[in-house]
Chains A and B, each alone.
Chain A
Amino acid sequence: MTSKALSIIENDGRAAKGKDPNLSDEELRRIYEIMVMTRVMDDKGLVLQRRGGIGFYLQSTGQEASHIGSAYAMLDSDWFFPAYRQPGILLLRGVPLDDIVNEWFGNDGDTSKGRQMPVHYSFRSVNFVSISSPIGTQLSQAAGAAMGAQMRGDDTVFMTYCGDGGTSSNDFHAGLNFAGVYKAPVVFVVENNQWAISVPFQKQTAAETIAAKAQAYGMPGIRVDGNDVLAVYRASKEAVDRARKGEGPTLIETVTYRMGSHSSSDDADRYRDKKEWEAWGKRDPILRFQKYLQQKGLWDAEFETEVQTRSKQEINDAVKRAELRSLPAPESMFDDVFMNQTPQIKEQREDFLALEGEADEAQGEFPL
């Protein structure tokens, strides 16, 4: 295992000899459009949070190639067990922008009923499993789902994500160990963006690379340039194909960078060197891919304007519609704890509604 990362798009925009995955023009343009749309959506999300429209936001800026390139290797019938920094997968799978934006607001159009913080999506319709905040939990679950598919003889493949920080979690060990033992059809994508909030990669592990950890679990470990969408796609496609053929799991480390702060609650300037940030900014995954498309004659300024304008328009419209919506019905809070409400939950719900009714009558007074 070398610590050199697989990279395909060269400085002049050409693909390294013999490594181009040869995607069709249409596919290439679609990937580009989704990367741009993801960035535009992330920009909007943060602006909305700053304006007080939504309570929280977390961007994937700088990691578009890393998550969109890997997800592109999957079939529609395959499953994702995501972390919280892969919003582009939703766009790739055709989730309507309204559904995404309604989740940010937690409003009555949110398909997960306002239950979770912004960006903690759940979209069963596209095999995108509900996102959890606790780091790493999805990794062992993905291994388990993959074991399930194996038991049933399905050829579904599972892709799960975590960050460099996530590799320190209990579930990273459990998930990779089980997947290795059972040769489960799962691809672990670690987006190594160099930071876990304020903790740098060097303090997360003494291992030189994350890919190196695969060896101990008996699976291949691949290190790719995470800002090179073709490299990420190529490595992921090989891993997905291997998994589908019954050849077991793969660990992919995408070497990338978190260009924003950790989230809207964080200020990275307090702990991060500006020079490091600037250097990574020069390796922007969207600009890099743009160069490749340009030299293939698939990108020009006009196309760019068209994509940018359309993306902004669509997201702005979705936000406007979401802003007109209301919060979920108060009593919906008591639904979905179990399939059937327990007697206790029923009683609490009734008491709650009675008190809400009294409150309307009392008009701000609190009669004893």
Chain B
Amino acid sequence: MSTMTLLEAANKAMQHEMANDERVVVFGEDVGLKGGVFGTTQGLQNEFGDDRCFDTPLSECGILGTAVGMALYGLRPIAEIQFLDFIYPGFDQIVSEAAKMRYRSGGEYTCPMVIRSPYGGGIRGGHYHSQSSEAYFCHTPGLKVVIPSTPADTKGLLIASIRDEDPVMFLEPKRIYRTAKGEVPDGEHVVPLGKGRVVREGSDCTIVAYGAMVPLVEKAALEAEKQGKSMEIIDPRSLVPLDEELILESVKKTGRCVIVHEAPRTCGYGGEIAAIIAEKAIEYLEGPIARVTGFDTPFPYALENLYMPDVRRVMSGIAKTFNW
């Protein structure tokens, strides 16, 4: 075990897999000598050479199209998109190509590749360095979507993503890149995709949260505890595939559920979880399901702290499941 940040854990996962499998290559804007704008790829070019970790021209379309091509040819590309907000010039290569390759070729061709990208607010980044657009990708059949919230999960999930036979969007909550610190197993450490994590056990209400919202709802759970309410926290860790069973089991036990995400509410991932609970566990509910989310506005710069869910908003969501 070693103690490290979420950012370092992502680095360690890539390093581990590059050493382990020579098909693994890492590329994107500024990932080489600079080691990424956040430092996630630091040292990889030095250790593995500039044919396995290299800078590209400024084109997300180029980065993702070539990643698809490499994957088709048998490599295991890890394409870094500097900020999730800048992925759209390459959207076509993700949703029309990588995600559909296996299906449209009847399983002949596949795209085992990882698209890593920092996402989410809280760094004073305004519209284009803050958005949480996971839902676009979850809505595309053929893409896996993974979001870690701890250093250990980051390493384990990223290794699992690199080894996965299908394209994976690996979204890194940049706000907690350096604040999330924890023990991470050395060497081999794999966390399978599709298995959620019980962050905290409790009996009165379930909170489902992922990414940077996990440490936030942990704080809210402590507040609720002071007021005699016991919160259970579930981190699904991967949104596609989703560990429905873990969420349903928890909700059946607690009878209440609050879903928290930073992304705007309309068609956000919280709606999907709420629907699953309504379809499969409505008879267990003792109060309405509550969503605590970003607002249906673009991500504002100056008022970002008011835009993003905070402890107060989570508490208010919890209250709604009790008082109605």
- Whether the pair A116, B312 counts as a contact (CB closer than 8 A) is no
- Whether the pair A199, B301 counts as a contact (CB closer than 8 A) is no
Given contacts A169-B89, A327-B302, A330-B306, contact A366 B312 (CB under 8 A): yes
Q: How far is the CB of A42 from chain B (nearest CB, A)?
A: 19
A334 at the interface (CB under 8 A from B): yes
Complexed CA–CA distance, A117 and B164 (Å): 37
A250 at the interface (CB under 8 A from B): no
A contact residues around B29 at 8 Å (CB) = 196-197, 199
A367 at the interface (CB under 8 A from B): yes
Q: How far is the CB of A269 from chain B (nearest CB, A)?
A: 11
Q: B34-78 vs A: 1/0 string, CB under 8 Å?
A: 100100000000000000000111110110000000000000000
Stretch from B124-132, B135-143, B188-196 forming part of the interface with A: B124-132
Contact of B311 (CB < 8 Å), options: A110, A165, A352, A366? A366
Q: A162-175 vs B: 1/0 string, CB under 8 Å?
A: 00011011110000
- Whether the pair A344, B224 counts as a contact (CB closer than 8 A) is no
Contact of B30 (CB < 8 Å), options: A114, A116, A198, A368? A198
Contact of B62 (CB < 8 Å), options: A56, A134, A168? A168
- Whether the pair B295, A116 counts as a contact (CB closer than 8 A) is no
A contact residues around B265 at 8 Å (CB) = 344, 348
Complexed CA–CA distance, A171 and B89 (Å): 9
Given contacts A133-B128, A134-B85, contact A348 B295 (CB under 8 A): yes
Task: Please give me the residue from chain B that is nearest to A359 by CB atom.
Answer: B312
A contact residues around B287 at 8 Å (CB) = none
B contact residues around A348 at 8 Å (CB) = 265, 295-296
A355 at the interface (CB under 8 A from B): yes
A308 at the interface (CB under 8 A from B): no
- Whether the pair A345, B296 counts as a contact (CB closer than 8 A) is yes
Q: How far is the CB of A291 from chain B (nearest CB, A)?
A: 35
Complexed CA–CA distance, A169 and B32 (Å): 20
Q: How far is the CB of B306 from chain A (nearest CB, A)?
A: 5
- Whether the pair A170, B303 counts as a contact (CB closer than 8 A) is no
A87 at the interface (CB under 8 A from B): no
Complexed CA–CA distance, A152 and B127 (Å): 33
Task: Please give me the residue from chain A that is nearest to B61 by CB atom.
Answer: A170
Complexed CA–CA distance, A204 and B61 (Å): 14
Task: Please give me the residue from chain A that is nearest to B307 by CB atom.
Answer: A333
- Whether the pair B86, A134 counts as a contact (CB closer than 8 A) is yes
- Whether the pair A328, B55 counts as a contact (CB closer than 8 A) is no
Interface residues of A in 189-214 (CB under 8 A from B): 196-199, 203-205
Given contacts A115-B301, A348-B296, contact A169 B59 (CB under 8 A): yes
Stretch from B154-162, B178-186, B209-217, B314-322 forming part of the interface with A: B314-322
Complexed CA–CA distance, A205 and B33 (Å): 18
Contact of B303 (CB < 8 Å), options: A204, A271, A327, A366? A327
Q: How far is the CB of A346 from chain B (nearest CB, A)?
A: 10
- Whether the pair A203, B300 counts as a contact (CB closer than 8 A) is no
B105 at the interface (CB under 8 A from A): no
Q: How far is the CB of B49 from chain A (nearest CB, A)?
A: 16
- Whether the pair B224, A368 counts as a contact (CB closer than 8 A) is yes
Q: How far is the CB of A324 from chain B (nearest CB, A)?
A: 16
B contact residues around A197 at 8 Å (CB) = 29-30, 34, 37
A107 at the interface (CB under 8 A from B): yes
Given contacts A198-B30, A334-B297, A344-B265, contact A203 B55 (CB under 8 A): yes
Complexed CA–CA distance, A132 and B89 (Å): 14
- Whether the pair A165, B302 counts as a contact (CB closer than 8 A) is no
Given contacts A115-B300, A133-B126, contact A352 B295 (CB under 8 A): yes
A55 at the interface (CB under 8 A from B): yes
A contact residues around B298 at 8 Å (CB) = 115, 337
Contact of A114 (CB < 8 Å), options: B59, B89, B266, B302? B302
B contact residues around A366 at 8 Å (CB) = 220, 223, 311-312, 315
A contact residues around B88 at 8 Å (CB) = 134
Interface residues of A in 100-141 (CB under 8 A from B): 105-107, 110, 114-117, 120, 132-136
A contact residues around B313 at 8 Å (CB) = 355
Contact of A107 (CB < 8 Å), options: B57, B59, B125, B302? B302
B197 at the interface (CB under 8 A from A): no
Q: How far is the CB of A56 from chain B (nearest CB, A)?
A: 7
Complexed CA–CA distance, A198 and B45 (Å): 14
Complexed CA–CA distance, A204 and B124 (Å): 29
- Whether the pair B316, A333 counts as a contact (CB closer than 8 A) is no
Interface residues of A in 146-179 (CB under 8 A from B): 165-166, 168-171
Q: A309-347 vs B: 1/0 string, CB under 8 Å?
A: 000000000000000000110101110010000101100
Contact of A134 (CB < 8 Å), options: B128, B296, B297? B128
A3 at the interface (CB under 8 A from B): no
16 CB < 8 A contacts A-B? A56-B124, A107-B302, A134-B88, A165-B58, A168-B58, A169-B89, A198-B33, A198-B55, A204-B57, A330-B303, A330-B306, A332-B303, A345-B295, A348-B296, A355-B316, A368-B319
Give 9 new A-B contacts, CB below 8 A, not counting A55-B301, A203-B55, A271-B34.
Answer: A165-B57, A198-B30, A198-B33, A198-B55, A330-B306, A344-B296, A348-B295, A355-B312, A368-B224
Ranked nearest first, the 4 interchain pairs of A and B with the lowest CB-CB distance are A114-B302, A106-B302, A133-B128, A117-B126
